[in-house]
């Protein structure tokens, strides 16, 4: 999507769809300023009759009459109360405009950022533009890569062009900078969505490694990919055990962005990359098992965040790590009761082969000790219990450093990707005590998300936060800037955290 920022009077900008944000509690005059008298009258009538009250994400479509209007359609987008404006509201408004553009088959959209909006809430011009551009770019996303023919015989209309209109030049520079960053972040998040939506027979561990290769090549990052042989030499018994039942070669992918200068400790991001999780011998029920292609969502967000960090040229040392494999069944597959030796040296009793994510993450978390990290965040679609606990509204956070958890929570709030902490009382750890090995890989059903977190914690020796994104990484596409399938969560959170750390 091509994004431009232009100083133009909204009524005079030639576009098939002009989106105008409107506050519920501000006089409507500003919204209609610059529009022709007929359209302004239509809008005024809709407001007077209470058909359009400008509550959040409410829309009104109006059609300028007369053949000479450069604006073909006007879309009012409700923003709620002026003082309640947040970047997330703008992101949703952008998504709403993109969805409407799709409905009327418009390839271009113009979105006005009026001066009154840029002074509202606690949002500055740069943040507003960034969130808006993210929302439009994300909302315009469709995943059609696997379809050979468009539906209904209609050729798909892709939104190719967004013009952000600002009044005057005061805020143009800030808006331009926000738009640039928003475009990079949205493109990264769409990479994460593509990786998630691609089926397991395409998005294999090898495919993820090839994706990492492209990112490394484009942004001068160091790339290390360990295959089966190297994983054996490295002693990655957890990752190898999960991969035992699969014909696909497992990989450990390590991308290093080194721009922090001498003596800085790196920030490390780790993402679970199970490209399909059948459960293994502890096989999952057939219903909805196809959703387990999304079990590499943490990996997708990690690669995507690294792409954005490379494009933004972030002045920090950031390392992205992805352990990736399938979890399948075969005569060679690991079995319940098997005991394996992890990379750290701890032995693990596998009581359930479906608790595979923690096995590959334990090895990755042990591997990253060599980088002497300042802090590590991992993201994983780790437990079904997390979906029961928090639903689809927040990712669960656990860790060994309260300040770091709070830092991640704040970063998530700033970018509209919420996390919520779960307690790690010592007593929960008892559930993963094993009679036959140092630890077992399942603590049963009670507090399943927390005992998974405790399992990971046993392999960590630095400030660390674990995000369980099982309920947030994919879904129905309820928000205006989402579509059914992969959400790209937590790509924005990762990048925001790194940017905040880099200062």
- CA 94 – CA 431 distance, rounded (Å): 46
- CA 208 – CA 215 distance, rounded (Å): 11
C-alpha separations of 125 from 118, 134, 177, 342, 449 in Å: 5, 14, 9, 49, 39
Q: Among 59-67, 81-89, 166-174, 355-363, which window interacts with Zn ion (CB under 5 A)? A: 355-363
Which SS3 state, helix, strand or coil, does residue 321 take?
strand
- CA 107 – CA 97 distance, rounded (Å): 12
Considering only residues 252 through 291, tell me which ones interact with ligand BES, judged by CB under 6 A. Answer: 277
For residue 217, the tally of other CB atoms under 10 A from its CB is 10
For residue 246, the minimal CB distance to Mn ion (Å) is 13
What burial letters (b/e) apply to 223-247, b meaning 16+ CB within 10 Å?
Answer: bebbeeeebeebbbbbbbbbbbbbe
Torsion from C-alpha of 454, 459, 464, 469, nearest 10 degrees: -60
Q: List the structure tokens of 201.
A: 């027979």
Answer yes or no whether residue 356 interacts with ligand BES by CB under 6 A.
Answer: yes
For residue 339, the minimal CB distance to ligand BES (Å) is 17
Contact pattern for ligand BES over residues 314 through 353, marking x by CB under 6 A: --------------------------------------x-
DSSP E strands: which ranges in 297-356?
A: 317-327, 339-341, 347-349
- CA 64 – CA 72 distance, rounded (Å): 7
Q: Among 59-67, 110-118, 223-231, 380-388, which window interacts with ligand BES (CB under 6 A)? A: 380-388
Answer yes or no whether residue 295 interacts with Zn ion by CB under 5 A.
Answer: yes
For residue 448, the minimal CB distance to Zn ion (Å) is 12
Please answer whether residues 203 and 327 qualify as being in contact, where contact means their C-beta atoms are separated by less than 8 angstroms: no
- CA 257 – CA 344 distance, rounded (Å): 25
For residue 197, the minimal CB distance to Zn ion (Å) is 17
Q: Which of 88, 134, 354, 496 binds Mn ion (CB under 5 A)?
A: 354
- Annotation says 358 is catalytic: yes
Answer yes or no whether residue 378 interacts with Zn ion by CB under 5 A.
Answer: no
Choosing from 293, 358, 414, 418, the catalytic residue is 358
Answer yes or no whether residue 311 interacts with Zn ion by CB under 5 A.
Answer: no
Instruction: Identify what 383 binds: Zn ion, Mn ion, ligand BES, none; CB under 5 to 8 Å per kind.
Output: ligand BES
C-alpha separations of 448 from 353, 468, 471 in Å: 15, 11, 14
Which SS3 state, helix, strand or coil, does residue 213 take?
helix
- DSSP count for the chain of H helices, then E strands: 16, 20
Q: Which of 256, 277, 363, 468 binds Zn ion (CB under 5 A)?
A: 277
Answer yes or no whether residue 399 interacts with ligand BES by CB under 6 A.
Answer: no
Choosing from 81, 82, 284, 369, the catalytic residue is 284
Q: How many residues bind ligand BES (CB under 6 A)?
A: 16
β-strand pairing of 74-78 with 59-62? antiparallel
Q: Among 238-246, 282-290, 350-358, 472-480, which window interacts with Zn ion (CB under 5 A)? A: 350-358
Answer yes or no whether residue 357 interacts with ligand BES by CB under 6 A.
Answer: yes
Answer yes or no whether residue 277 interacts with Mn ion by CB under 5 A.
Answer: yes
For residue 125, the minimal CB distance to ligand BES (Å) is 39
Instruction: Identify what 340 binds: Mn ion, ligand BES, Zn ion, none; CB under 5 to 8 Å per kind.
Output: none
Q: Among 17-25, 189-197, 270-278, 446-454, which window interacts with Zn ion (CB under 5 A)? A: 270-278
Please answer whether residues 293 and 194 qualify as being in contact, where contact means their C-beta atoms are separated by less than 8 angstroms: no
- Annotation says 418 is catalytic: no
Please answer whether residues 264 and 315 qualify as being in contact, where contact means their C-beta atoms are separated by less than 8 angstroms: no
For residue 352, the minimal CB distance to ligand BES (Å) is 4
Instruction: Identify what 470 binds: Mn ion, Zn ion, ligand BES, none; CB under 5 to 8 Å per kind.
Output: ligand BES
- Supply the residues annotated as catalytic: 284, 358
Q: Which residues are near ligand BES by CB under 6 A? A: 277, 295, 352, 354-357, 381-385, 387, 442, 448, 470
Q: Which residues are near Mn ion by CB under 5 A? A: 277, 354, 356
């Amino acid at each position: 999507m091509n994004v431009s920022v232009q100083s133009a009077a909204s009524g005079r900008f030639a576009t098939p769809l002009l989106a105008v944000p409107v506050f519920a509690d501000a006089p409507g005059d500003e919204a209609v300023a610059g529009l022709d008298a007929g359209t302004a009258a239509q809008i005024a009538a809709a407001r007077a009759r209470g058909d359009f009250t400008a509550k959040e994400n409410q829309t009104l479509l109006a059609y300028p009459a007369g053949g000479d209007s450069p604006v073909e359609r006007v879309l009012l987008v409700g923003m709620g109360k002026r003082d309640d404006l947040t970047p997330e509201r703008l992101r949703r408004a952008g998504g709403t405009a993109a969805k409407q553009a799709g409905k009327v088959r418009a390839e271009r959209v113009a979105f006005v950022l009026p001066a009154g909006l840029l002074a509202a809430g606690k949002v500055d011009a740069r943040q507003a533009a960034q969130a808006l551009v993210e929302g439009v770019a994300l909302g315009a996303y469709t995943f059609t890569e696997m379809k050979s023919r468009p539906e209904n015989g209609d050729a798909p209309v892709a939104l190719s062009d967004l013009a952000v209109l600002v009044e005057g030049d005061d805020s143009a520079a800030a808006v331009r900078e926000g738009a640039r960053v928003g475009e990079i972040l949205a493109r990264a998040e769409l990479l994460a969505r593509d990786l998630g939506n691609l089926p397991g027979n395409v998005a294999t561990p090898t495919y993820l490694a090839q994706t990492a290769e492209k990112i490394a090549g484009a942004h001068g990052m160091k790339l290390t990919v360990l295959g089966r042989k190297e994983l054996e030499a490295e002693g990655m018994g957890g990752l190898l055990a999960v991969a035992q039942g699969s014909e696909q070669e497992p990989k450990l992918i390590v991308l290093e962005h080194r721009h922090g200068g001498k003596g800085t400790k790196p920030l490390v991001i780790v993402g679970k990359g199970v490209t399909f999780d059948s459960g293994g011998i502890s096989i999952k029920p057939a219903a909805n098992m196809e959703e387990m292609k999304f079990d590499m969502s943490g990996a997708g967000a990690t690669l995507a965040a690294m792409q954005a960090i490379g494009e933004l040229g972030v002045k920090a040392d950031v390392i992205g790590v992805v352990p990736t494999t399938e979890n399948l069944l075969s005569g060679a597959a690991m079995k319940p009761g098997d005991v394996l030796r992890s990379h750290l040296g701890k032995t693990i009793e596998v009581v359930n082969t479906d608790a595979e994510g923690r096995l590959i993450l334990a090895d990755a978390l042990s591997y990253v000790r060599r980088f002497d990290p300042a802090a590590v965040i991992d993201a994983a679609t780790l437990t079904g219990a997390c979906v029961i606990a928090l639903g689809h509204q927040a990712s669960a956070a656990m860790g060994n450093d309260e300040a770091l958890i709070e830092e991640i929570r704040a970063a998530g709030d700033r970018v509209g990707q919420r996390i919520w902490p779960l307690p790690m009382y010592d007593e929960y750890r008892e559930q993963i005590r094993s009679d036959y090995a140092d630890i077992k890989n399942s603590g049963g059903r009670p507090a399943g998300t927390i005992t998974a977190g405790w399992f990971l914690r046993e392999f960590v020796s630095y400030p660390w936060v674990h995000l369980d994104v099982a309920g947030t990484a994919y879904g129905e596409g309820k928000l205006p800037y989402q579509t059914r399938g992969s959400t790209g969560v937590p790509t924005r959170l990762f990048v925001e955290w790194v940017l905040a750390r880099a200062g």
